[in-house]
Structure 1
C-alpha cells in the first residue's frame, strides 16, 4: 500500500516538473522542445523497484498537444469560413430584400467600412500598447485609415467634390512622418511582419481588393460575356462581392496579427518587449540562411 502511494507521489512530481507549463513560459508554439528518446531495450525506467512513466504515457501527452494544435487549425478554418460567407449574405440581402442596387447606403458598404474600421483598431491598439513596434503599427494604421476615409468619399463630397483626398493626405503624411522618426525600428518590424503568415493573407486581401476586383468588374468584360443582355447590376454585383471579400481577408490578417500579439502579452517574459521577441525570431532565420 505504501509502495503504491510512493509511486503515485513520484509520478505526480514528474508530471509537475515536465508537463505542467509555468505561467511565465511561452506557449509551445514559441519554444523548441528537445525530447530525449527512450532506451531501445526498455519501455520504462526503474529506481529501487519503483516504475516510472512509460513511453506510451509520454507519447500520449505529446499526441494531446498535437491534437490541440490540429483543433486550433480547424477552428481557424471555421472562423475564416464564417467570415467569407458574410459578404455573400450582405450582397444577397441588399439585392433580394432591400433592392438598393448596392448603393453607398447599402448593407454591403456598411460591412466594408466596419471591417476596415476594425482593422484600423487592431493595429492602432498595438501601436498604443507596445512602444517597441509603435512606429510600424502607426504606419499600417495610417494606411488603412486612408482607405477608410476613401470609403466615405460620397459623404465628404458634400463639402466639395474629391474632398476625401485632403484628410487622407494629412493622415498619410502624419503616419509617414512618425514612422520616419525611428526608421530602423519601422523597417525591422516590417521585415519581421513579411515573414509571418499574416502578411501572406494581407497580400491576398490587397490583391483581391486592388487588382482582381477592378479587373473582374470592368464593364467591357461583362459586356463581352452578356452581349445584348448586359445589365450593369450584374457587373456591380460581381465587383462589390470580390471587393468585400478582399476587405474580409484583410480583416482576417489583422485579427491574426492582433491575436499573436495578445498571446505574446500573455506569456511574455519579465521585462521583455515585443521587439526583443522579434529580434530572436529574426536571428533564428538569419542563422539558418547563413548556413
Structure 2
C-alpha cells in the first residue's frame, strides 16, 4: 500500500494533466474560431458549435459525477448534489429545444423534478454531506470546480450583460458580440467543471487503492 497521500498528485502526473487540459482547451477554442467565421444564422446560436460543445461537456461531467455516486460509491451525498447541479445545467442548455418540441416551460419542470429530490436527500443527510465536503475542499478537484462554477454562474453572466457591451461598443454594438462573450465564457466554465469531475474520479480511485 502506497504511503503517498491520495489527495496529492505527483509532479509528472500534474504535467501530463496540464498538457492534456491545454490540448482540450485549444481544441475547443479552435472550434469557437471556426464558428466565428460562419456568417450565417448558426453563429453562436443554439445550433452552433459553442452551444453543442457546452451540452457535451455537461453530459460528460454529469456522467462522471454519477459514476462516483453509483459505481465507485464514494462521497454519495456530494456526488448526488453534483449530479443534480450538472444535470440541471444540462437540461437548461436544452431550453430552446424543449420549449419548441415538448412544451413551453418543459425545462423548468424537468429541472424541478431533478433538483428537488436531490436537495431533499442532501438536506436529510446534511451531516454526512458536510463531512464529505470537508474531505475534498483542499483538493485539486474542488478548486477546479469552484473556479468553473464562479466562471459559469457569476462571471459569464456579468461579462455578458448587454449594457456592458453597449457601453464598450457604443454605436457599433451588435448582439453577436454580447452572445459570443457570454457563451464562450460559459464554455470555459463548463470545461473547468468537466476537468474537476475527471479529477474527482481519479481522487476517489486513489483513495480506494490506498484505503484512505
Superposed pair shares fold, TM > 0.5? yes
SS state at 1:194 partner: coil
- Specify whether residues 175 and 81 from structure 1 end up closer, same or farther in structure 2 by C-alpha distance, changes over 3 A only: same
Distance 1:140 1:224 in 2: 37
Distance 2:184 2:169 in 1: 18
- Runs of 4 or more above 6 Å deviation: none
Kindly report which structure 2 residues correspond to 1:93-172, keeping only aligned pairs within 5 A, or say none: 93-97=34-38, 99=40, 100-131=42-73, 133-158=75-100, 159-172=102-115
Distance 1:214 1:227 in 2: 20
Structure 2 residue 157 is matched with structure 1 residue 214: yes
Distance 1:139 1:162 in 2: 23
Structure 2 residue 19 is matched with structure 1 residue 78: yes
Q: Which one of the candidate residues 184, 187, 190 is aligned to 2:130? A: 187
Unaligned runs of 5+ in 1: 1-24, 32-67, 270-276, 278-291
| Larger CA deviation: 93-102 vs 137-146 | 93-102
Structure showing greater relative contact order (alpha-carbon pairs closer than 8 Å, 6 or more residues apart): 2
- Specify whether residues 119 and 246 from structure 1 end up closer, same or farther in structure 2 by C-alpha distance, changes over 3 A only: same
Q: Contact 2:6/2:203 (CA < 8 Å) preserved in 1? A: no
Q: Contact 1:91/1:237 (CA < 8 Å) preserved in 2? A: no
Distance 1:124 1:136 in 2: 11
| Match of residue 179 from structure 2 | 236
- Specify whether residues 162 and 247 from structure 1 end up closer, same or farther in structure 2 by C-alpha distance, changes over 3 A only: same
| Larger CA deviation: 256-265 vs 94-103 | 94-103
Unaligned runs of 5+ in 2: none
- Calculate the aligned-residue CA RMSD, in Å: 2.2
SS state at 2:44 partner: coil
- Specify whether residues 133 and 156 from structure 1 end up closer, same or farther in structure 2 by C-alpha distance, changes over 3 A only: same
TM-score, normalization by structure 1: 0.66
For the pair shown, which has the larger CA radius of gyration, 1 or 2? 1
Number of corresponding residues: 210
SS state at 1:161 partner: coil
SS state at 2:37 partner: helix
